[in-house]
Amino acid sequence: MEKGTLLYEGKAKKVYQTNNDDIVWVEYKDSATAFNGEKKASIAGKGRLNNEITSLLFSKIQALGIDSHFIKKVSETEQLVKKVEIIPLETVVRNLSAGSFAKRLGVEEGTKLARPIVEFYYKDDALGDPLLTEDHIEILQLANIDEVAILKEKALQVNTVLSGLFKELGIRLVDFKLEFGKDENGNILLADEISPDTCRLWDDKTNEKLDKDVFRRDLGNLTDAYETILARLGGQSVCI
Ligand code: C5P
């Protein structure tokens, strides 16, 4: 597989063409951003950690039967994925109150929710990624009702798998964000990344935050927190 021309550069990743039309080459960057790009930094090693952690988590999720775009890790900071058309929705699952949920609804951070809930946000930087109702999604033609049901179902499946996995490692999965895309046959596949950039992960015993809130809230060393997650997941994933 050959790395071709740059197709797209986002806040955290670069996407390159390959010599196969159905596959793209993703490179994780060392940049950290928060608050819709208002806070920015370059953090050495972050790209490697997110690539390693995402590769491990997608492999585990795939092994349990949830289809995703992930093919394989090809270097410390790079992976190959199936080319998909990203659905412009951020699908968020919450197990405990935190972040924007705690702020918007006045529920104290750390409060366990009676059941996991799913929220959708419009993936649109210019609008600041607003929260959407299902009616908004339908009327803006971002996805149809059946697709919304599939996204919810898949997101809750991922939550079951990841919550169990992290629990065994002494970590609470507080909330996380997923993105989905469609392949050339219209199949909905889990896409993007799953890393401490996109999840809230708290140590079960100490409540220490082991995720991007360390950067958002200036709580200490971000790479130390991400290294802790990678180490508990079993360390470096194999580069095939
Ligand atoms: O900020 P909020 O509480 O809505 O975030 C919910 C979850 O989604 C958090 O785990 C956060 O890291 C993730 N998220 C993300 N990318 C965004 C917004 C939220 O990964 N643009």
User: Domain residues of the chain, as ranges?
Assistant: 3-82, 85-221
Which of the four pLDDT bands, split at 50, 70 and 90, describes residue 235?
A: confident
Distance 56 CA to ligand 1 centre (A): 20
The atom number, within ligand 1, closest to the CA of 101 reads 3
pLDDT of residue 155: 98
Task: Locate the ligand 1 atom nearest the alpha carbon of residue 198 and give its number.
Answer: 20
pLDDT, mean over the chain: 96
Average the pLDDT over 216-221 and give the result.
97
Does the domain made of 3-82 have the CATH classification 3.40.50.720? no
* Single-letter amino acid code for the residue at 106: G
Pocket test of ligand 1: the residue of 54, 132, 177 to mutate, having most ligand atoms within 8 Å of its CB, is 177
Ligand 1, atom 18, lies closest to the CA of 177
> What pLDDT is recorded for position 236?
62
CA nearest neighbour of 50 among 186, 240, 223, 172: 223
Q: Nearest CA to 196 among 233, 168, 161, 164? A: 233
CATH of 85-221, one of 3.40.718.10, 3.30.470.20, 1.10.287.1080, 1.20.1300.10: 3.30.470.20
Residue 237, pLDDT > 70, answer: no
Pick the atom of ligand 1 nearest to 176's CA.
Answer: 10
CA distance 182 to 86: 6
Encoded tokens for 76: 């410390």
Burial of 46 (0-12, 13-18, 19+ CB in 10 A): buried
Ligand 1 pocket, Cβ-based, cut-off 6 angstroms: 90, 92, 98-101, 129, 175-177, 198-200, 212
Distance 150 CA to ligand 1 centre (A): 20
Identify the residue whose C-alpha is closest to ligand 1 atom 7. 176
pLDDT band at 93, cuts 50/70/90? very high
Give residue 109 CA to ligand 1 midpoint distance, Å: 14
Query: Residue 186 — very low, low, confident or very high, per pLDDT cuts 50/70/90?
Result: very high
Measured in Å, residue 135 CA sits from the centre of ligand 1 at 22
In angstroms, the CA 166 to CA 53 distance is 12
Mean pLDDT of 208-237: 94
